[in-house]
Amino acid sequence: MPYPTDRERDRPWVIRTYAGHSSAEKSNALYRRNLEKGQTGLSVAFDLPTQTGYDPDDELAKGEVGKVGVPVSHIGDMRTLFDGIPIAEANTSMTINAPAMWLLALYVAVAEEQGADRATLAGTTQNDIIKEYLSRGTYVFPPAPSLRLITDMVAWSVTEIPKWNPINICSYHLQEAGATPAQELAYALSTAIAVLDSVRDSGQVPPERFGDVVGRISFFVNAGLRFVEEMCKLRALARMWDRITLERYGVENPKQRRMRYGVQVNSLGLTEAQPENNVQRIVLEMLAVTLSKDARARAIQLPAWNEALGLPRPWDQQWALRMQQVLAYETDLLEYEDIFEGSVVIEAKVTELVEAAQAEIDRVQEMGGAVAAVENGYMKGELVTALAERRRRIESGDDVVVGVNRFQTTEPSPLQGDAAAIETVDPATEAAAVAAIREWRAARDQSAVDEALRRLQDAAKTDENLMQVSVDCAKAGVTTGEWAGALRAVFGEFRAPTGVSAAVAGGEAAVEIAEVRERVRATGEELGTRLRMLVGKPGLDGHSNGAEQVAVRARDVGFEVVYQGIRLTPAQIVAAAVQEGVHVVGLSILSGSHLEVVPAVVDGLRAQGADDVPVIVGGIIPAEDAKALKEKGVAAVFTPKDYQLTEMMDEIVTLVREVHGLG
């Protein structure tokens, strides 16, 4: 972390951009360019197969390789990713959860190849699996063994890599899933309590060293546009964390109790309409996490202005980097003590948030803690309901979104207009990755791989710490899919509650929903059966918020909804559509794999004789891709600018009627 030469100024935060795509080689080049531009920390984005424990040649990885991050399948990829970047001097954040132990093992193994002392490694693994069941969806194993992996990582890291943050408790994704500020605080802190209780109860860390565990717990937070409230939220989080770690865990050292957090400001609030407005949104959100010295972020990464359109280009990421640098180096922000100290208004808001969050923490603890509240669906249902309420406020105009539901008149943007406005991943990337991993498997010592995997599985069946055996697997040449597959065989897999059935949703004016509900009812009568919609999430994209809201609104207007959650193959979606006799299939995709997986569903339905089932698609889909999808048989494409869900339902009913010749 850089220190200023002027001792009167606070030191700047670690300046990052969240980056990675296509391949380890291309991502390495991107990282080196960003470091040359003044970035002071790395933030690695992994692709979805890596995040969910699959190799590039797995069926579920089709269309997803290298799209939303870099594929890292074995130690060779990790070597390439950090080629020319001294790991001993780096501060690396890795957004990885279910296979966090594995990616950390690969990182440690490569660091040792570079000659780095383990004790010098600095950085963070996200490693918060609770929020994966609630929002991002990149979970693999059931909650209990997942918590065991986190516990082992935390205990091992305190001894072996003491400068590393083994977990980022992530309130960020909770906000994107709909959490109110109080829910965001409560569920994040409930997760932290679950992790700390598990580490304490495992007996792997002596009581006298438990303060070291607490001192390495960090948070990853979100900051929305209500930036005064967001700043108060972070002051509340710091206050509550200090109290919990003192009273529940008896940590006396105030330095160890200090809440440390990194941040990416709100991507959910970025708009496809008039995306140039996203620049000022990002800047205002950045102020929420920097203005208050007593609750200032120690690492920041900002989204790019065009992330609602697709993958940002290097120039777009540079712009986001420069926003941070202007604030840190050109303004006087870092010259003052906390400018909100003594504010009656700020103190009242902080107190309100603390009280509301504590009440929700108490509810979760009464259920048995965060893991129990995941398994019984409570937290997920609360988030889906809260997001439905947020959508209602936007749809009704109660909450203004500039350029979306007000001030929609606009001039043509010189920043957009052609395919070059976003980064695209070469379609050959996936084929190259598939070929490369097969070459890797053919060239390694298979007996060493088999022995390493046998040791991993044997250890997983006991209470042995799994971190070192994972490092041994990394050095033997085991792949990401093999490591995860070995543990799947022991731990099993898990499908989290969707929260849809538990959600209580509002909508626009009741009369508008009633009108569409009547059309749904009448169309069902004419067809002789209730209208049924399948909402599907093909591929590995686990961002299910949009799909859940569509499912809730479809249910509200009278559709019978079939929604089986995330991570389905096109074949599974087709089979469910045929078996359930649905009248329409709606697919939600945010990862960029739409050109591969959507046509597979369309073709599969045709092959099953279900030509009369229209397929609609929603997600971040560029205009030229939408045109290509329609040419391949997709009936309609919806993007984030189509925020009126009831109008969308009305269009879907019209499609069903047209297909069945009802006029």
Q: CA 248, 253, 254, 255: dihedral to nearest 10 degrees?
A: -120
Coil, strand, or helix at residue 201? helix
The tokens of 276 are what?
């140039």
Q: Which residues contact 245 (CB under 8 A, 6 or more apart)?
A: 214, 251, 256, 257
Q: How many residues does the structure list for the chain?
A: 663
Residues marked active site are found at 18, 172-173, 537, 541, 543
What's at 656, amino acid-wise?
V
The conformation of residue 493, written as its DSSP 8-state character, comes to: -
Residue burial 102-138, b: 16+ Cβ < 10 Å; e: rest: bbbbbbbbbbbeeebebeebbbbbbbbbbbbbbbbbb
Give CA–CA dist 60/538, Å, rounded.
Answer: 9
Q: How far apart are CA 399 and CA 397, in angstroms?
A: 5
CA gap 556, 618 in Å, rounded:
19
- 8 alpha carbon, distance to own chain's centre: 37
CA 614/CA 585 separation, integer angstroms:
6
Distance CA 589, CA 542 (A): 9
Cβ atoms within 10 Å, residue 315: 9
Q: Which two tokens stand for residue 36?
A: 């040359």
Distance CA(577)–CA(559), nearest Å, equals: 14
DSSP-derived 3-state class of residue 452: helix
Distance in angstroms (rounded) separating the CA atoms of residues 111 and 156 = 16
The beta-carbon contacts of 628-636 under 8 Å, at least 24 apart in sequence, are 628/595, 629/594, 629/595, 629/598, 629/599, 632/598, 632/599, 632/602, 633/599, 633/602, 633/606, 634/598, 634/602
Beta strands in 529-598 (DSSP E): 532-536, 560-563, 584-589
The 3-class secondary structure across 229-285, one letter per residue, is HHHHHHHHHHHHHHHHHHHCCCCCCHHHHCCCEEEECCCCCCCCCCHHHHHHHHHHH
Please tell me the distance from the alpha carbon of residue 656 to that of residue 534, in angstroms, as a whole number: 13
